[in-house]
Amino acid sequence: MQPAKLIKLLYVQVLIGLALGITVGHYWPEFGAALKPLGDAFVKLVKMMIAPIVFCTIVSGITSLNDSREIGKTLLKSMGLFYALTILALLTGLAAVFLMQPGAGMHIDPAHLEWAGVAVMKKAYRLYQERGYRTRLLSAATRNHMHWSEFIGGNVVVTLTHSWQKRFNRSAIAVMPRMNTPVDDRIVQSLQTHFEEFRRAYDPEGMGAKDFDAFGATRRTLRSFIEGYHELVAMIRDFMIEDPDR
């Protein structure tokens, strides 16, 4: 097949787009991160078009059939094809897991994963104290009790939702200073061995300023803060100015 005709094939264009995305993300991560709004807009556009396309296709197919018995046969075939493809997809996923065995060879205690954020926070706090930084660290997105209990005694800001506050009030966790107690070296070494992202976050020289700005955790945190701000503004607006259309 000629290259000009090959380029016009949809799956070829998709593969080219994937290759370009991987290349840009690998060699120019900051530029790739800046393109995220375009990717989000494209995905939302595709999702928006799925429902009307499926609806119009079904209606068009049914109206083209004159015999009611043919309509019933078509629906039965469609349902059979749907279930067959669903089962095939499940079997394909199970086969892939069985053959590729993702996660095999990591040999890491799952409990160590809970210490990742705690270790980075304590390391950053120690560096702030040593270098005399006046800025206080902020702990957010609580996922386990250590995101509160391990930071007791430190000059940090810990944001807790109401549900987590009730959990802590009902818990038997001793309230005692732990901020200056280092995380077990075995846990830190285990995390460094298996997770590159942890090494980048834990090592003081793991990221430059641009790398930190493009870091996934940084962007997710900032986006969640901005989203929370907009939700608060919307709540205050609805309280102060009643929506006439409701």
For residue 139, count other CB atoms closer than 10 A to its CB: 19
Q: Which helix (H) or strand (E) holds 158?
A: strand 157-158
pTM: 0.59
202 vs 222: CA distance, rounded Å: 19
Rounded mean pLDDT, 26-34 = 80
31 vs 17: CA distance, rounded Å: 16
Distances (CA, A) of 85 to 11, 223, 236: 20, 37, 48
Q: Where are the domains of the chain?
A: 3-100, 110-206
- Residue with the bigger pLDDT between 133 and 7: it is 133
Q: Which of 54-58, 185-189, 208-212 is predicted least confidently?
A: 54-58
173 vs 169: CA distance, rounded Å: 9
Do 13 and 7 meet the contact criterion of CB atoms below 8 Å apart? yes
Distances (CA, A) of 227 to 164, 234, 243: 20, 11, 21
Q: Strand, coil or helix: what is 157?
A: strand
Tokens read off for 202: 């834990």
189-226 pLDDT, tens digit per residue, is 999 988 888 999 999 998 888 888 888 888 888 888 89
pLDDT at 68: 66
